[in-house]
Chains A and B, each alone.
Chain A
Amino acid sequence: MKGHPSPIGPFPNITTVLSESFLSQLDTLALVQRQRAHGQLKGMHRSRRVGAGMVLADFRPYAEGDDIRNIDWGIYLRMDRLMLRLFEEEADIPIYLLLDASQSMDHGNPGKLEYAKKLAAALAYLGLLNHDRVNVAAVTDTVREVLPTRRGKNQAPQVFRFLDGVQAAGRTSLQGALRRYFAAPRTRGLLILISDFLDREGLDESFAILRRFRHDVMLLQVMSPQERDPQLPEEVVLVDAEDGTAHELEITPALLAAYRETFERHAQGIEAYARKYGWGYARVQTEVPLEDLVLRGLREEGLLR
């Protein structure tokens, strides 16, 4: 694709989002879907429907009008009955890729949002590779930007362009964003939520919404090294990037230790929730190269195969 103009208009050079070598490595990977696919279109995921497929699901007596190519002639020879082989139909899955684009994601070195956008691009690319319907949305306290469903690898540039255009703004309210996003009917699928989960309104209600719609959920918590282990002067005024709240602190080793402990407890709480309900969870540390995260980290977490 490099160097070829897009038929749907200008889009960013793909290497500004992901390198070609990295994309080529992604060709061998696929997103792990824990539930049966509920997609209506032909895909690469096992579904509850029987029909054309490669995996034998059951047998039934032949009826007039059935495709004779599925008659099991072995059974006929042994039992003198015409039995029809039924195959699991392979369907696509809808992938809902929600990217937290609140102001809190615009911090860290490397920046959390930039890192999250590249990660989202990589995961979206995997979905497009597997002919899944990829839905990408940038959320804050609402659904700020939505990319209509895309399917097929040739749609990757549009997804990348969309992600490239996402800018950090607004405050975080996953609850509000999820309510708004799922206000429209959505087929059950794989929901990938990439966020720092620093939500003043709490996460319980947000996660309850996700449980209610029984999606297969993958939580990717983005964290920068500055958040995990802050290096602060002795006296500092910390200003919240989203609401401007200021706190004058006398930084002591004990306070820093308490913060690190709180941060870890916060991450562990999200992870525990995810494990409890069979969701996927991974910590996305921005200082780790994206290639390492995707090719090794997420596979080790069982989110990719």
Chain B
Amino acid sequence: MRFLAWSNSTALALLAGVAALIVLLYLLRPLPRRLIVSSSLLWEQVLRSRKRRPERWRWWLSLLLALGIGSCVVLALSRPEVATISGAAEELVVVLDDSATMATRTVYGTTRFEEARKRAREAIERGGLGSRFMVADTLRQIATPSFQPREAALSTLGRLRVSSAGVPVFPDVARPLDARANLQVWFVTDGIAGITPPPGVKTLSAYHPADNVGIGAFDVRPVPGDPARYQAFVEVLNASAGAKRVELRISGAGARPAARTLQLGGRARALETLDVSAFDGGVLRASVEAQSDAFDLDNAAYALLPMKRVVRVALVTRGSTALEQSLRLVPRVQVTVVAPERFSSGRGFDAAVFDRVAPKTQPTVPALLVRPSWAQWLPAEAGETGELPVERWDASHPLLRSLSLRDLVVERAAAIKPGAAGAEAGGFIQTIASGPRDEPLLLAASAGARWLQLAFNLEDSNFPQLPSFPVFLSNAIDWMTGEPPALDRPLGRVRLPAAGARVTDLAGARVAVTSVPGATLFDAPEPGVYTAVTSDQRLRVVVNALDPRLTLVNASPLADAPPAPSPARARLLRTDPWVLLLIAAVALLCLEWLTFHRRVTV
């Protein structure tokens, strides 16, 4: 037994002090009153007739009752801990798996996570008085787990929710505590996330078999040979043990949804291709429906259909085979070669590519200028540079998406001064790539109609021979036509490469964001399409849960868990000794009152 309110020695000293005080008070009772009576003759007869019973026992009884009351009160105040009554004090770490599959509904009408939380709550309720509890989770919703009293731990437990953000891992809670003898670590999981707890950790199963049909993959691509047409590729998984009839549906703007009924066997998958050319550009939503589906997160997936299927590009050149052929390789680009003297304003085109020429005024359409002749609206040039490699480039810029300029070598380039740009460009010219001494090699201006400028002639570099050149042209066309490629992100915390972005969801509602230097963070708990707007760009973010590990909600090595018991039952089993002591004190007080008024102890 130990005491929670004070140290053992303090409690025992207090107990002894109270007992001594009670005994002292009993010994210090007042002297009996002297009373003169006419005769003590009859009293003597009474005393003779009554056997001299040891009346002292009354005193002892009263003293014992008083000692009992005092001891019970002192012990109650000391908050004793008795293992046989209140359970042994221990330190229990409960780690809850709060990964996405824990949201799977069970046959009991609850989710796996709720069952897991019941088990954790039961473990905490069963803990003895004085026990301390640490609640942690695999997704670090609880950033700094610490040992807490029971009620605080239950409160922490109640705040936990299933999350689809991040990669679940076993938290680093047990390692520094291994030396503690009375430490227990419990891990409640459904086993889907494949987390392997450290040795000595007791794993409690929260796994219950469930039916689930979900989308494993979803992508929209143009039809090869016909960039104006688009196809959707959908992978549908059936994680259930039995066959399922699945309704697959793709919906978007401008056309009736495309639907297909699938018959999937148990633990089977289907790869479906659907023509989505009929839809207008924008958001496409793929969804599956099946009976008794227990997991919702993978039932929908999103993709973006390009708004402009064909981009009309005017190639203003006196002749550049490499440029023309590379442009023709870019999907959905329709190239028209125009002589420089015949190019006027760019009407009838979506973009223009100027090869070694430049219009006197900025064209009304976006333009890519390859070593243009100087014009008033372009940055000033200060001669020419010699051979120089590309030393620095902004890989995060959409222009350089999926390519590298490491092998690019430029023999000769114009020495451009970005600060001396024309009035229209102002300060919106950005150097995307530069030489060893910051010589601009690739400039981008986003004010008004966008334009790009390569500081070197293609023939003065090895760029046309590099595989990244067509990719660069494709990125340039995409960037210039104002439809930057959407970002694909998994569920959870999304990091945008733009600071101070304002993010809205599909319904136009603002999403809470966290701004950090150079980036914007926001949480995407469900699949969807988000729009991020900064001062100079507009990004579309497609968030999907396209992960077969999520869909396969029955791929658990754990056994089927029994239903979790009610926490109330565990609570009934535990009784605080101080409550019992107070009850005993009250009972003794009643007994003392009874014996006093029945004149047993007086």
Contact = CB atoms under 8 A, between A and B. Distances in A.
Chains A and B belong together in one complex: yes
A112 interface: yes
B38 A252 contact: no
Given A198-B41, A234-B602, A250-B55, A255 B46 contact: yes
Q: Which of B32, B39, B50 has the most CB of A within 10 A?
A: B39
Interface string A55-78: 000000000000000000000000
Given A252-B599, A252-B602, A239 B33 contact: no
Interface in B585-602: 599, 602
B38 A262 contact: no
Contact of A104 (B33, B39, B58, B599): B39
14 contacts: A107-B38, A196-B38, A198-B38, A200-B39, A224-B38, A227-B38, A230-B37, A235-B33, A238-B43, A247-B40, A249-B43, A255-B46, A258-B46, A259-B42
Interface string A235-271: 1111111100111111011110011001100100000
A237 B33 contact: yes
Q: Which of B35, B38, B40, B599 has the most CB of A within 10 A?
A: B38
Contacts of A253: 599
A223 B44 CA distance: 18
B40 A239 contact: yes
Interface string B93-120: 0000000000000000000000000000
B599 to A, nearest CB: 5
Contacts of A107: 36-38
Given A238-B43, A250-B55, A262-B45, A105 B38 contact: yes
B63 to A, nearest CB: 15
Nearest to B41: A198
B84 interface: no
Nearest to B32: A235
B34 interface: yes
A262 B42 contact: yes
Interface in A211-246: 224, 226-227, 230, 232-242, 245-246
Interface in B27-70: 29, 32-47, 49-50, 55, 58
Contacts of A245: 40, 44
Contacts, number: 92
A252 B32 CA distance: 14
B55 A266 contact: no
Contacts of B49: 258, 262
Interface in B266-312: none
A110 interface: no
A237 B35 contact: yes
Given A235-B32, A249-B43, A262-B46, A112 B55 contact: no
Contacts of B50: 254-255, 258
A176 interface: no
Interface string A93-117: 0000000000111111000100000
Contacts of A233: 32-33
A200 B35 CA distance: 20
Contacts of A259: 42-43, 46
Given A247-B44, A263-B42, 14 more contacts: A107-B38, A172-B39, A198-B42, A224-B38, A233-B32, A237-B32, A239-B36, A239-B40, A252-B599, A252-B602, A255-B46, A255-B50, A259-B42, A266-B42
A35 B42 CA distance: 34
Contacts of A249: 43, 47
B83 to A, nearest CB: 45
A109 B260 CA distance: 117
Interface range on chain B (Cβ under 8 Å from partner): 20 to 34
B44 to A, nearest CB: 7
Given A252-B599, A255-B50, A262-B49, A238 B42 contact: no
Interface of A: 103-108, 112, 172, 196, 198-200, 224, 226-227, 230, 232-242, 245-250, 252-255, 258-259, 262-263, 266
B35 A240 contact: no
Given A253-B599, A262-B49, A237 B38 contact: no
A248 to B, nearest CB: 6
Given A247-B43, A262-B46, A241 B38 contact: yes
Contacts of A199: 41
A140 to B, nearest CB: 13
Nearest to B50: A258
Contacts of B37: 107, 226-227, 230, 238-241
Interface string B359-370: 000000000000
A196 B38 CA distance: 9
Closest 5 CB pairs of A and B: A198-B39, A235-B32, A107-B38, A104-B38, A240-B40
Given A107-B36, A227-B38, A240-B37, A247 B47 contact: yes
Contact of A238 (B29, B40, B45, B58): B40
A253 B58 CA distance: 13
Contacts of A239: 34-37, 40
A242 B39 contact: yes
A236 B42 contact: no
A226 B39 CA distance: 12
A250 B58 CA distance: 11
Nearest to A171: B39
Nearest to A240: B40
A229 to B, nearest CB: 13
A238 B38 CA distance: 10
Contacts of A247: 40, 43-44, 47
B244 to A, nearest CB: 88
B50 to A, nearest CB: 6
B42 to A, nearest CB: 5
A115 to B, nearest CB: 13
A232 B58 CA distance: 18
Contacts of A172: 39
A239 B33 CA distance: 10
A230 B36 CA distance: 12
Nearest to B30: A235
Contacts of A227: 37-38
A259 B36 CA distance: 16
A200 B33 contact: no
B46 A246 contact: no
A200 B41 contact: yes
Contacts of B41: 198-200, 240
A100 to B, nearest CB: 11
B35 A238 contact: yes
A186 to B, nearest CB: 28
B54 to A, nearest CB: 11
Nearest to A257: B46
A190 to B, nearest CB: 27
A196 B42 CA distance: 12
Nearest to A261: B46
